Amino acid sequence: MHKKILLISRHAPYGNSIAKDAFDAALATAIYDQDLSMLFMDDGIFQLLRDQQAQEISQKSFTSMLSALPFYDIDKLYIHQESLEQRGLTIENLIVDNATIVNSAQISNLLNHQDHILSF
Protein backbone atom coordinates (compact mmCIF):
# COMPACT_ATOMS: atom_id res chain seq x y z
CA MET A 1 0.00 0.00 0.00
CA HIS A 2 1.22 3.43 -0.99
CA LYS A 3 0.15 6.09 1.51
CA LYS A 4 0.40 9.83 1.63
CA ILE A 5 2.29 10.63 4.81
CA LEU A 6 3.13 14.03 6.23
CA LEU A 7 5.91 14.14 8.79
CA ILE A 8 5.68 17.21 11.00
CA SER A 9 8.92 18.17 12.75
CA ARG A 10 8.34 20.83 15.42
CA HIS A 11 11.24 20.47 17.80
CA ALA A 12 14.64 22.15 17.95
CA PRO A 13 17.78 20.13 17.20
CA TYR A 14 20.33 18.90 19.81
CA GLY A 15 18.55 19.63 23.13
CA ASN A 16 16.96 16.22 22.86
CA SER A 17 16.75 13.55 20.16
CA ILE A 18 13.24 14.25 18.81
CA ALA A 19 14.43 16.13 15.71
CA LYS A 20 17.02 13.47 14.88
CA ASP A 21 14.45 10.70 15.37
CA ALA A 22 12.07 12.57 13.08
CA PHE A 23 14.81 12.76 10.45
CA ASP A 24 15.48 9.00 10.74
CA ALA A 25 11.77 8.30 10.40
CA ALA A 26 11.66 10.48 7.27
CA LEU A 27 14.46 8.47 5.66
CA ALA A 28 12.71 5.21 6.54
CA THR A 29 9.45 6.46 5.05
CA ALA A 30 11.21 7.38 1.82
CA ILE A 31 13.13 4.07 1.67
CA TYR A 32 9.87 2.13 2.09
CA ASP A 33 8.47 3.97 -0.88
CA GLN A 34 5.69 5.97 0.71
CA ASP A 35 4.55 9.34 -0.60
CA LEU A 36 6.27 11.53 1.99
CA SER A 37 6.03 15.25 2.61
CA MET A 38 7.91 16.95 5.42
CA LEU A 39 6.85 20.06 7.29
CA PHE A 40 9.06 22.12 9.57
CA MET A 41 7.30 24.39 12.02
CA ASP A 42 7.69 25.96 15.46
CA ASP A 43 11.23 25.31 16.81
CA GLY A 44 11.67 22.68 14.08
CA ILE A 45 12.65 25.65 11.90
CA PHE A 46 15.93 25.88 13.85
CA GLN A 47 17.02 22.54 12.36
CA LEU A 48 17.33 24.31 9.04
CA LEU A 49 19.76 27.10 9.97
CA ARG A 50 22.91 27.35 7.90
CA ASP A 51 26.38 26.86 9.37
CA GLN A 52 25.52 24.75 12.42
CA GLN A 53 28.70 23.53 14.12
CA ALA A 54 27.31 20.58 16.02
CA GLN A 55 30.77 19.08 16.45
CA GLU A 56 31.14 21.67 19.24
CA ILE A 57 28.76 19.51 21.28
CA SER A 58 29.79 16.17 19.77
CA GLN A 59 26.67 15.81 17.65
CA LYS A 60 25.94 15.37 13.95
CA SER A 61 25.06 18.61 12.22
CA PHE A 62 21.53 19.03 10.90
CA THR A 63 22.99 21.32 8.26
CA SER A 64 24.61 18.35 6.56
CA MET A 65 21.95 15.78 7.46
CA LEU A 66 19.10 17.80 5.99
CA SER A 67 21.13 18.64 2.90
CA ALA A 68 20.99 14.92 2.14
CA LEU A 69 17.19 14.78 1.92
CA PRO A 70 17.06 15.25 -1.89
CA PHE A 71 19.31 12.19 -2.32
CA TYR A 72 16.56 10.13 -0.69
CA ASP A 73 14.02 11.69 -3.07
CA ILE A 74 12.50 13.62 -0.19
CA ASP A 75 11.72 16.75 -2.12
CA LYS A 76 8.32 17.82 -0.80
CA LEU A 77 9.59 20.08 1.96
CA TYR A 78 7.45 22.73 3.58
CA ILE A 79 8.31 25.51 6.00
CA HIS A 80 5.71 27.29 8.11
CA GLN A 81 5.81 30.99 7.33
CA GLU A 82 4.53 32.26 10.70
CA SER A 83 7.09 30.12 12.57
CA LEU A 84 9.82 31.64 10.41
CA GLU A 85 8.60 35.19 10.96
CA GLN A 86 8.12 34.72 14.71
CA ARG A 87 11.80 33.78 14.90
CA GLY A 88 12.98 36.72 12.80
CA LEU A 89 14.30 34.43 10.06
CA THR A 90 14.02 34.38 6.28
CA ILE A 91 14.51 31.60 3.75
CA GLU A 92 18.05 32.97 3.10
CA ASN A 93 19.00 31.85 6.64
CA LEU A 94 18.03 28.28 5.84
CA ILE A 95 19.75 25.40 4.07
CA VAL A 96 16.75 23.96 2.31
CA ASP A 97 16.38 26.39 -0.54
CA ASN A 98 14.11 24.08 -2.52
CA ALA A 99 11.48 24.11 0.25
CA THR A 100 8.09 25.74 -0.12
CA ILE A 101 7.07 28.41 2.37
CA VAL A 102 3.48 27.85 3.42
CA ASN A 103 1.13 29.83 5.62
CA SER A 104 -1.19 28.31 8.22
CA ALA A 105 -4.14 28.01 5.84
CA GLN A 106 -1.99 26.17 3.30
CA ILE A 107 -0.73 23.81 6.02
CA SER A 108 -4.28 23.09 7.01
CA ASN A 109 -4.97 22.16 3.41
CA LEU A 110 -1.77 20.08 3.27
CA LEU A 111 -2.85 18.12 6.39
CA ASN A 112 -6.23 17.42 4.90
CA HIS A 113 -4.71 15.68 1.88
CA GLN A 114 -2.78 13.07 3.88
CA ASP A 115 -3.55 9.49 4.85
CA HIS A 116 -1.40 9.75 7.96
CA ILE A 117 0.59 12.26 9.93
CA LEU A 118 3.82 11.30 11.67
CA SER A 119 3.97 13.77 14.56
CA PHE A 120 7.30 14.79 15.99
Partner 1 sequence: MIVPVMIFSINVQSPPSSQASYSAYQFCRALLRQGHNLHRVFFYQDGIYNATNLAAPPQDELDLYSEWQKLSKEHSVELVVCIAAALKRGLLNQEESIRYNKAGHNLAEGFTLGGLGQLIEAAAVSDRLITFGN
Partner 2 sequence: MSTLHTVNKSSFTNRALESCILICRSSDGILLLEDGVFSALKSAPNATALEALNQQGIHIYALLNDVKARALEYKIAAHIQLISYDEFVSLTVNFNRVQSWY
Q: In what order do the strands lie in the sheet with 4-9?
A: 100-102, 77-80, 35-40, 4-9, 116-119
**DSSP codes of every residue in 100-118:** EEE-HHHHHHHHTT-SEEE
Among the listed ranges 16-24, 41-49, 79-87, 95-103, the one in contact with partner 1 (CB under 8 A) is 16-24
> Residue 41 or 94: which CB sits closer to partner 2?
41
Indicate the residue among 41 and 63 with the shorter CB distance to partner 2.
41
What is the nearest approach in angstroms of partner 2 to the Cβ of residue 112?
5
Contact 65, 80 (CB under 8 A): no
Among 12, 14, 25, 72, binds partner 1 (CB under 8 A): 25
C-alpha triplet 21, 6, 50: angle, nearest 5°: 55
Return residues touching partner 2 (CB under 8 A): 8, 10, 41-42, 82-83, 104-105, 107-108, 111-112, 114-117, 119
Interface with partner 1 includes 29 (CB under 8 A)?
yes
Which residue in 65, 52, 39 sits closest to 117, CA to CA? Answer: 39
For partner 1, the binding residues (CB under 8 A) are: 1-3, 5, 17-18, 21, 24-25, 28-29, 31-32, 34, 115-120
